[in-house]
Amino acid sequence: MPALATVRRVADLRAQVHAWREAGDTVALVPTMGALHEGHLSLVRLARREARRVVVSLFVNPTQFGAGEDFSAYPRDEARDSALLAGEGCDLLFAPSAEEMYPPGFATTVAVSGLGEELEGAFRPGHFAGVATVVTKLLIQAGANAAVFGEKDYQQLQLIRRLARDLDLPTQIIPGPIVREGDGLALSSRNVYLDPDQRRIAPALHAVLVSAASALALGAAVSECEAQAREALRTAGFDAVDYVEARRPDDLHRLGPGPLSEPARLLAVARLGRTRLLDNLAVSAPRA
């Protein structure tokens, strides 16, 4: 299989996308930090259905990692990622250096207030400013018709939709469904950090969300379901539960403590050792 065409400069990315669009081709971008797994590849396949040309970006963005987080340890293997992408029919890999993305004197930050400060934003201060800034740059750099983001990082997806609307970015944001292991564990590049005992406990996160979602859909009170889910996660062996919350699906506004009167999204983060596992699930409103 021929090697995947790779560019490292914004100017080269722009020139290629411009040439495709001049020729009448549509272009979809899939932003990633590499360490690709089946979840990423499903986004590439979705992008291929949406557009004639697919660009994948690979950039481990330093500004979205906090002090003491896993920036240095984050798994990196460009050759492997590139081969996987070539196998999926990706047309171009954009793999810039940190200097290309953040040249000396870089001083601009994109922050989405409200949405960017809660849940993950509260546990990882500065994280979403890093995400919003790099994603805004990638969307402007690529000038694609569409960009695909996974629902696994549900709050990130809603934040990106918000910033694209607020900043009039002309790229359609397309969500890709979560891909799970057979036992329910959502695929994540960070699952490689789990030791065998932790890996046995990890699927309980999805199982607990599934049972909380069914209770909510049957009319159970939000506050009770959230508390029961937190307790169930601790009993299952998680070392800590950062949050389990039912929120409004689009803007992630808080809901009242009683039974749902509208559909919701359950979002949870639980820890196994130093690894934070994220998951989320759609919840239907109880039938009237």
Q: Please, what is the minimum distance in Å from the beta carbon of residue 276 to ligand PAF? A: 14
- 3-state helix vs strand vs coil in the chain, percent to 5: 40, 20, 40
Tell me the C-alpha distance between 252 and 105, whole Å: 34
> Site for ligand PAF (CB under 6 A): which residue of 43, 54, 135, 148?
135
> Binding segment for ligand PAF among 117-125, 131-139, 221-229, 272-280 (CB under 6 A)?
131-139
Query: Residue 220 and residue 262: Cα distance in Å, rounded?
Result: 13
Contact range with ligand PAF by CB under 6 A, out of 128-136, 161-169, 225-233, 254-262: 128-136
Counting residues that bind ligand PAF (by CB under 6 A) gives: 10
Residues facing residue 277 across a β-bridge:
270
Q: Which stretch binds ligand PAF (CB under 6 A): 31-39, 101-109, 200-208, 231-239?
A: 31-39
Q: Which member of 18, 40, 206, 253 is catalytic?
A: 40
Nearest residue (CB) to ligand PAF, 185 versus 255: 185
Binding mask 63-82 toward ligand PAF (x if CB under 6 A, else -) reads -x------------------
Q: Which residue has the tokens 């201060």?
A: 125
Residue 33 as a binder of ligand PAF (CB under 6 A): the answer is yes
In order of 55, 128, 151, 153, 194, the CA distances from 275 in angstroms are 30, 19, 19, 15, 7
Integer Cα distance of 202 and 230 in angstroms: 14
Can you say whether the dihedral through the CA atoms of 133, 135, 137, 140 is positive or negative?
negative
Q: Does 222 bind ligand PAF (CB under 6 A)?
A: no
The burial class, CB within 10 Å (0-12 / 13-18 / 19+), for 24 is: exposed
Largest CA distance in the chain: 58
What are the C-alpha distances in Å from 10 to residues 6, 15, 132, 140, 163?
A: 12, 9, 18, 10, 21
**245 binds ligand PAF, rule: CB under 6 A:** no
Q: Answer yes or no whether residue 131 interacts with ligand PAF by CB under 6 A.
A: yes
Q: Is 43 in the site for ligand PAF (CB under 6 A)?
A: no
Instruction: Give the CA distances from residue 146 to residues 54, 92, 175, in Å, rounded to whole numbers and listed in that order.
Output: 10, 15, 10
Residue 133 lies near ligand PAF (rule: CB under 6 A): no
Which SS3 state, helix, strand or coil, does residue 247 take? strand
Residue 275 interacts with ligand PAF (CB under 6 A)? no
**Whether 40 is catalytic:** yes
Our finding on whether 134 is near ligand PAF (CB under 6 A) is yes
Interface with ligand PAF (CB under 6 A), residue from 32, 141, 158, 188: 32
Does residue number 42 form part of the binding site for ligand PAF (CB under 6 A)?
no
Among 91, 153, 242, 279, binds ligand PAF (CB under 6 A): 153
Residues belonging to the active site: 40
Q: Note the residues at the interface with ligand PAF (CB under 6 A).
A: 31-33, 61, 64, 131, 134-135, 153, 156
